[in-house]
């Protein structure tokens, strides 16, 4: 696996911190932040903040979404060679206007949307939806887990997530009750690191109010016990991490109890799924003014090695996931309405899939795939990168003869979001993506 440009001083400092943390047996701990405050790591990163009131949502499609059947090059005859039409037993998305299961034309581009992401079509038409058709990076191992780590860390070797480094490098513009949150039962690796970030899901259940008359005493006991010095009460090398979690958890539960139940606005209709519920809760948190600046949401089920299916009556594994994905995003955009001017939503996936379908009507691990952006000042359109989309999907135009070549470097997408949505300075960008030479994609107006 190639990891370029790993020799800048900022990178080495972070690496050293990582090594020290690991030597101390620590994982993601506030303790480490205290040992190595970020102004020690990144001196002179004073900035003119433009992150006031801004929110970034990062949705991760875990499993490797097949970009080629999401944004479909239907005008390339070779596409139907490697993926025969669904009416001929393959997984090829039918050209627009071919009846049931046809793609949705993106006029003048030669591409069509998978019919199951129809909910996103109006956003594209209104120039609000940016679609990167071949996002990725050189040196993918095509392992779900390694490639997710690479994307979420920014560089595989950096043990902290890129969003966590952002939280450490850039101060909040004002007071915030909940600056960052992982929506889900897990903290996405992009949000793990020196800054403690809570995770939460199913907000309606996040409450201790049922304790009734016992609540005051139990909260008080809990805080008193957690307030003890971990050095003298814990045998665990990561004891301080565990001790930091307790009050953080109680405080976040109180914040969530304080905003009441979600109430979608503007006629937004969320899918009745975990992802739909999490997007609904997320919009509720954003609207409630807790100061949410960075959030992650996961959506799984993209590892379509078999029975991937196509559109309409040929729908199978991928179509349902796409409908959930697109429906949840569209509902959040509708729900937040004009608030979306201050919110950017970015979607990632670790890789695309083999261009040629396999014999079990699925696709195996590939390279470049589709990423989406919407909100803020995102400039709608298709982005194929400087190298452009291949004129034909013949083997000679593919990476290793099998995969869509990654033509838009994912760190540049992050760079666009950081500089154009949050207004990060050069020094701050370097702190988040140390050693990366940023080359703008131009995703924002």
Partner 1 sequence: MGSILGGSSTPTTKNVQRLLKEMPGLSRIIITPMPVEAVAPPAPPLASPVSGLPAAPANWFAYHVLNRAAFGGTPNQLNAVSHMNAVQANAWADRYLKEQLGLDPNLPWPTNLHATSPLPAAIPIIDSDTDLLLSQDKADWSVHQEDSSLLVPNLNQLQDHDLIRKMHSRRQLLEKMVYFWDNHFNTDYRSHFAGQYEFFENEAFRAKAFDRFIDLLLTSGKSPAMMVYLNTDVNVKENPNENYAREVLELHTLGVDDQGNPAGYTQTDIVNAAKAFTGWDTPNGPQPGFRFVSSRHSPGSKQVLGQSISFDGGGPGEGERVLQIAAAHPSTARHLAKKLCEYFVSEMPSDALMTEVASVFSDSGGDIRKVLIAIFTSPDFRDVRNYRTLVKTPLEFVVGLHRNLGVWSSRDPFRSRLTRIGQGLYEMPPPTGYKEKSDHWLNTHVLFHEVGMAYEATIPGFGSTVRYGSDATNGLTRVWLKNLGLKTEQDVLGFLLNLTMDRQVTATEYQVYLTTLRSGGGTFNLDTSSVETPLDRTLASILANPRYLYQ
DSSP 420: I
Distances (CA, A) of 231 to 179, 226, 238, 257, 305: 28, 12, 10, 32, 49
Instruction: Using the rule CB under 8 A, give the single segment among 171-179, 238-246, 415-423, 426-434 that binds partner 1.
Output: 238-246
Smallest separation (angstroms) from partner 1 to the CB of 10: 20
Q: Give the residue with the Cβ less far from partner 1, 199 or 425.
A: 199
Phi then psi for residue 27, to 5 deg, are: -105, -125
8 Å CB contact between 146 and 352 = no
The least CB distance from residue 444 to partner 1, in Å, is: 31
Give least dist CB 80 to partner 1, A. 16
Residue of 9, 25, 43, 313 that binds partner 1 (CB under 8 A): 25
Q: What is the dihedral of CA 274, 278, 280, 282, to 10 degrees?
A: 180
| Cα angle: 119, vertex 336, 369; to 5 degrees | 45
Phi-psi region of 57 (alpha: psi -120 to 50; beta: other; left: phi over 0): beta
**Which of 146, 130, 58 is CA-nearest to residue 418?**
58
Q: Are 161 and 395 in contact (CB under 8 A)?
A: no
Which residues, numbered 346-375, are part of the site for partner 1 (CB under 8 A)? 356-360, 362, 364-365
238 near partner 1 (CB under 8 A): yes
Work out whether 15 is an interface residue with partner 1 (CB under 8 A). Answer: no
* H/E run at residue 335: helix 317-336
- Binding window for partner 1 (CB under 8 A); candidates: 36-44, 225-233, 278-286, 337-345: 225-233
Nearest to partner 1 of 111, 410 (CB atom): 410
Name which of residues 287 to 316 contact partner 1 (CB under 8 A): 300-301, 303, 305-307
| 47, 105, 110, 156: residue in contact with partner 1 (rule CB under 8 A) | 156
Residues 241-280 touching partner 1, rule: CB under 8 A, are: 241-243, 245-246, 248-249, 252-253
User: What are the backbone dihedrals phi and psi of residue 98, each rounded to the nearest 5 degrees, phi first?
Assistant: -100, 20
Strand 294-299 with 55-61, pairing: parallel
- Which 321-350 positions form the footprint of partner 1 (CB under 8 A)? none
Report the site for partner 1 in 367-426 (rule: CB under 8 A): none
Q: What is the DSSP string of 108-150?
A: TTTEEE-GGGGGGHHHHHTT-EEEEEEEE-TT----HHHHHHH
Interface size with partner 1, residues (CB under 8 A)? 75
Q: What is the Cα–Cα distance from 89 to 71, expressed in whole angstroms?
A: 20
By the rule CB under 8 A, 161 interacts with partner 1: no
> Which range touches partner 1 (CB under 8 A), out of 209-217, 279-287, 289-297, 323-331?
209-217
Please tell me whether residue 237 binds partner 1 under the rule CB under 8 A: yes
State phi, psi for 102 to the nearest 5 degrees: -70, 150
Q: How far is the CB of 416 from partner 1 (least distance, A)?
A: 26
Closest distance between partner 1 and the C-beta of residue 111, in Å? 25
According to the binding rule CB under 8 A, does residue 217 interact with partner 1? yes
Q: Which residue reads 């982005």 in tokens?
A: 383
Rounded least distance, CB 27 to partner 1, Å? 3
Q: Which CB sits closer to partner 1, 291 or 362?
A: 362
Residue closest to 70 by CA, chosen among 105, 7, 112: 112
Name the DSSP class of 27: -
Binding mask 30-69 for partner 1 (x = CB under 8 A): --------------------------------xx------
Tell me the closest approach of the beta carbon of residue 309 to partner 1, in angstroms: 14
Q: Specify whether the CB–CB gap between 58 and 279 falls below 8 A.
A: no
Q: Which stretch binds partner 1 (CB under 8 A): 208-216, 325-333, 334-342, 406-414?
A: 208-216
State the nearest-atom distance from the C-beta of 270 to partner 1, in Å: 20
Taking CB under 8 A as the binding criterion, the range among 19-27, 109-117, 321-329, 381-389 that sits at the site for partner 1 is 19-27
Tokens at 146, concatenated: 């390694």
């Amino acid at each position: 696996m190639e990891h370029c440009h790993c020799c800048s001083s900022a990178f080495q400092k972070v690496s050293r911190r990582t090594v020290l943390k690991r030597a101390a047996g620590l994982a993601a701990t506030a303790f480490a932040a205290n040992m190595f405050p970020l102004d020690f790591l990144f001196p002179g990163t004073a900035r003119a903040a433009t992150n006031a009131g801004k929110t970034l949502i990062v949705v991760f499609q875990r499993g490797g979404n097949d970009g080629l059947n999401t944004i479909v090059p239907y005008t390339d005859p070779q596409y139907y060679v490697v993926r025969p039409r669904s009416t001929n037993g393959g997984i090829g998305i039918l050209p627009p206007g071919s009846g049931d299961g046809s793609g949705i034309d993106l006029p003048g581009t030669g591409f069509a949307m998978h019919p199951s992401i129809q909910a996103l079509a109006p956003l594209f038409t209104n120039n609000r939806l940016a679609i990167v058709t071949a996002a990725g990076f050189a040196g993918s191992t095509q392992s779900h887990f390694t490639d997710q780590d690479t994307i979420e860390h920014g560089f595989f070797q950096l043990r902290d997530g890129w969003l966590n480094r952002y939280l450490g490098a850039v101060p909040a513009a004002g007071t915030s009750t909940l600056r960052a949150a992982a929506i889900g039962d897990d903290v996405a690796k992009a949000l793990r690191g020196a800054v403690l970030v809570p995770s939460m899901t199913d907000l309606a259940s996040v409450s201790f109010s049922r304790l009734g008359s016992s609540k005051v005493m139990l909260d008080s006991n809990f805080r008193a016990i957690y307030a003890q010095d971990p050095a003298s009460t814990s045998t665990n090398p990561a004891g301080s991490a565990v001790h930091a979690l307790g009050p953080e958890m109680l405080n976040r539960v109180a914040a969530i109890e304080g905003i009441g139940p979600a109430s979608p606005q503007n006629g937004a209709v969320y899918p009745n799924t975990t992802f739909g519920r999490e997007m609904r809760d997320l919009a509720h948190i954003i609207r409630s003014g807790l100061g949410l600046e960075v959030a992650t949401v996961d959506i799984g089920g993209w590892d379509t090695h078999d029975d991937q299916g196509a559109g309409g009556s040929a729908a199978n594994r991928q179509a349902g996931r796409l409908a959930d994905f697109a429906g949840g995003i569209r509902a959040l955009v509708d729900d937040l309405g004009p608030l979306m001017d201050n919110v950017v939503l970015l979607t990632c996936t670790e890789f695309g899939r083999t261009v040629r379908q396999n014999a079990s009507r699925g696709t195996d691990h590939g390279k470049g795939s589709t990423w989406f952006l919407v909100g803020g000042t995102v400039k709608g359109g298709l982005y194929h990168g400087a190298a452009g989309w291949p004129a034909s999907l013949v083997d000679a135009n593919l990476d290793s003869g099998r995969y869509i070549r990654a033509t838009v470097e994912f760190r540049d997408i992050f760079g666009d979001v950081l500089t154009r949505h949050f207004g990060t300075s050069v020094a701050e960008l370097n702190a988040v993506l140390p050693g990366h030479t940023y080359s703008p994609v131009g995703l924002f107006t």
